[in-house]
Amino acid sequence: MTVVTADAAVGPKATRGSARAVARTLRTTGMYVLSVLIGLVVWQLLATKYGPSLVASPTQTLSAARELAADGTLTNSIIASGRRILIGWGLGVLVGVPVGLLVGQIPLVRQLLEPYIEFFRFIPPVAFVTLAVVWLGIGESSKVVLIFYTAVFIVTVNTSAGVMSVSESKLRAAQNLGASRRQILRGIVLPSTVPHIVTGARLAMGNSFLTIVSAEIVAAQVGLGSLIWTSRNYGRIDWVFVGIITLGILGFVFDRVLRIVASRVLRRYGVKL
């Protein structure tokens, strides 16, 4: 008599599942590559139609990137902008999350802070560029503060929205069972709010890239925004394209890293990115 073990029965299923996962990954990668190739073709056609004075071709942009990388300009610009974004965004998240939790949980705090949150979040950071330079100078502080201003309200609003979306029945049930405010926060509020926090952090990261360009154009000697503005003054359209594309790639990398970290660290809260 032939005995089929559990491992033998599960083995083919696991193999098929692994094969499907590999095929799915290859298919996704292939679609990404195809999308990039189509974009490059369209880009080349536009460059051919309008000429290098308006649209730098992919080869011209690549050559310009090598030129800027050779003398360290591109590397220094990436490091400067990336550092400013990470510091300002990180401070915005560190402040925005606890403030959002307080606003969402405590009505008195919400009544006190909501007028200011609703007022300042509609004023774009670019409106404060001049004041930031006057108050803080042209050093790093002005750029970091502007990015912090960009991030903190986005994170606060998303976090407070997540807190206020928690089911009231869950909160009452926990209170009736004798749970303390701290236990309710850790066991009910945070798990329900984490997806909103992650979304707020990602939105804040995207908006930080919008702010850094404006801030560096006005008050920076080094950075991707400064590179784009300087390239314009010299009439180097290919350098402008290098700065713009580098911003996009840097933002893509930052967002991917954020998604990976969030999905691994916060998996126990049920966050799926």
What is the per-residue pLDDT for 129? 87
The overall average pLDDT reported for the chain is 85
pTM over 0.85: no
Report pLDDT for 74. Answer: 93
Report pLDDT digits (tens) over 223-248.
Answer: 998 999 888 888 899 999 999 999 99
Which residues are CB-neighbours of 259 under 8 A, at least 6 positions away?
A: 202, 273
Mean predicted confidence (pLDDT) in 139-163? 92
Q: Which residue has the tokens 């707020």?
A: 200
Residue of 111 and 176 predicted with greater confidence: 111
Asked if 166 and 189 touch (Cβ cutoff 8 Å), the reply is: yes
pLDDT at 103: 92
Sign for the pseudo-dihedral over CA of 42, 45, 50, 56: positive
**Cα 172 from Cα 178, distance rounded (Å):** 10
Architecture in CATH for domain 58-269: Orthogonal Bundle (1.10)
CB burial of residue 232 (10 Å; 0-12, 13-18, 19+): middle
Q: What is the pLDDT of residues 249-271, one digit of tens each?
A: 999 999 999 988 888 766 665 55
- Cα separation, 108 vs 99, whole angstroms: 13
Residue 237's SS3 state is: helix
Task: Write down the pLDDT at residue 205.
Answer: 94
pLDDT in tens, 18-51: 777 777 888 888 888 899 899 999 999 999 989 8
Dihedral sign of CA atoms 171, 177, 179, 183 in order: negative
- Please write the tens of the pLDDT for every residue from 118-138: 999 899 998 898 888 889 888
Which DSSP string corresponds to the chain? -----HHHHHHHHHHHHHHHHHHHHHHHHHHHHHHHHHHHHHHHHHHHHH-TTT---HHHHHHHHHHHHHTTHHHHHHHHHHHHHHHHHHHHHHHHHHHHHHHHH-HHHHHHHHHHHHHHTTS-GGGGHHHHHHHH-SSHHHHHHHHHHHHHHHHHHHHHHHHHTS-HHHHHHHHHTT--HHHHIIIIIHHHHHHHHHHHHHHHHHHHHHHHHHHHHHH-SSSHHHHHHHHHHHT-HHHHHHHHHHHHHHHHHHHHHHHHHHHHHTGGGT---
> The tokens of 55 are what?
């649209």
CA distance 111 to 40: 52
Q: Give every CB contact of residue 38 below 8 A, 6+ residues apart in sequence.
A: none
Tens of pLDDT, residue by residue over 191-207, are: 778 888 989 999 999 99
Q: Which amino acid is residue 242, in one-letter code?
A: V
Q: For the chain, what's the residue count? A: 273
